[in-house]
Amino acid sequence: MTFTNKIVVSGINFTEGGPLSVMQDFLERISYLYADKYEIIALVHKKELYSTENITYLEFEDSKSSWFKRIKYEYADFKKLSKEIKPKYWFSMHDMTPNVFCEKQFVYCHNPAPFFKPTKNDWKYGKTTAIFSLFYIYLYGINIKKNSKIIVQQNWLREEFQKKWNLDNVVVAYPSIEHKKKEISKDVKELNKNKIQLFYPSFPRSFKNFEVICEAYEKLDKELQEKIEIKLTIDSSLNSYANFIIEKYKHLEGLKFIGLQSREKVFEIYEDSDALIFPSRLETWGLPISEFKEFSKPIFLADLPYAHETLGDYDKVAFFNPYKAEELKNHLEKFVSKNLNFTKHNAKKIVNPHVIGWDNLLKYLIR
């Protein structure tokens, strides 16, 4: 089969949040770099979710109606489609490696769920992630060796893939994150400065581990509680997990459940905060860690591989076991009394293939 100068980018299940942003950003960069050399065809859930020009969009609006439908597309329908299109390159942006005909095939594996150990609360308030942790590893494995390259966001994920499938073609692709500090009004900066301000911005999913912060705060002596205010971006209307957290800990006045915030407001709170707490038990990256580093303030961070890799070089971090509130409570006690010795953390050297940003990744893959 003779392949044409066409690139297919598949992301038929992306409809919102971070995954959709990844797809949008990827299409923007691949169009900018290669639209004059290749016809770019994007397989998407809905065209209206995208605005990048010089791309042909094919819609698959029923792709999320069932897992059977999704699997049928990946392993049957796309095979037929690839015979018609005859693309030179095929990018699958959401973990699964389809049966397709092309010169070079790539898969972007961004979901770390297979390497996650769910707790009781995860089964109760985050069943989707808990179930994914059991069967997603099998979806990853189907056809995985058909790929010219497998793309992951962090080296610890590459090591897991190498161990599981004995692969030697996994590329670590760090996101390129632009940080722009906002000009903050004086009123915002001085807000509640009679108390130590701590902040955890995240959407309330069970693995985000809001409860370890609440439990650590609850364990503090009353006198210390009165010196601390912790802002958490949840409210009871968001989901059952958020409602569980608020109902259980609403009696603690120092915990402020402020709901989801705009990106601009998050940066205002960064500016006003004395430290960030990031206890998540599962991340592909952990964007608030990268964002908050720009403020050169202390970070209380889950002692997990993703967190170490995201943090890189930094000299104001205190790691804690995300399953043990007592460790975080001890850190907070020392922080209030100004007796906490922060760790100086050094970035681990990542061996090649290792790139930063979409442009460098695309130039490495498309040759």
CATH number at residue 325: 3.40.50.2000
Does 271 share its domain with 311? yes
Does 76 share its domain with 132? yes
Domain that holds residue 44: 4-174+352-365
- Report the greatest alpha carbon distance in the chain: 74
Whether 196 is covered by a domain: the verdict is yes
Query: CA nearest 358: which of 148, 106, 4, 100?
Result: 106
Whether 62 is covered by a domain: the verdict is yes
Overall domain count for the chain: 2
From first to last of its 367 residues, the chain has per-residue pLDDT tens of 788 999 999 999 999 877 888 999 999 999 999 999 999 999 999 999 999 999 999 999 999 888 899 999 999 999 999 999 999 999 999 999 999 999 999 999 988 888 888 888 888 887 877 887 788 888 899 999 999 999 999 999 999 999 999 999 999 999 987 655 555 554 444 455 789 999 999 999 999 999 999 999 999 999 999 999 999 999 999 999 999 999 999 999 999 999 999 889 999 999 999 999 999 999 989 999 999 999 999 999 999 999 999 999 999 999 999 999 999 999 999 999 999 999 999 999 999 999 999 999 999 999 8
Does 119 share its domain with 249? no
Contact status, residue 106 vs residue 144, Cβ threshold 8 Å: no
Does 170 share its domain with 249? no
pLDDT at 328: 98
Contact status, residue 342 vs residue 315, Cβ threshold 8 Å: yes
Does 208 share its domain with 120? no
For residue 152, what are its two tokens? Answer: 């992951």
Does 26 share its domain with 136? yes
Q: Angle CA(335)–CA(340)–CA(345) in degrees, nearest 5?
A: 115
Does 168 share its domain with 243? no
Whether 285 is covered by a domain: the verdict is yes
pLDDT at 190: 45
Does 224 share its domain with 326? yes
Whether 344 is covered by a domain: the verdict is no
pLDDT at 141: 93
Whether 181 is covered by a domain: the verdict is no
Cβ contacts of residue 279 below 8 Å, gap of 6+? 200, 208, 209, 210, 212, 213, 300, 302, 320, 322, 328
Contact status, residue 234 vs residue 199, Cβ threshold 8 Å: no
The pTM of this model reads 0.87
Kindly list the distances between the CA atom of residue 281 and the CA atoms of 112, 211, 322, 332, in Å, as whole numbers in the listed order.
Answer: 11, 12, 7, 19
* Integer Cα distance of 289 and 285 in angstroms: 9
Does 193 share its domain with 328? yes
Burial of residue 13, with CB atoms counted within 10 A of its CB: 0-12 exposed, 13-18 middle, 19 or more buried: buried
Q: Angle CA(68)–CA(73)–CA(75) in degrees, nearest 5?
A: 90
Q: Specify the residue for token string 């804690």.
A: 320
* Integer Cα distance of 331 and 328 in angstroms: 5
Does 315 share its domain with 275? yes
Does 258 share its domain with 358? no
Does 164 share its domain with 210? no
pLDDT at 127: 81
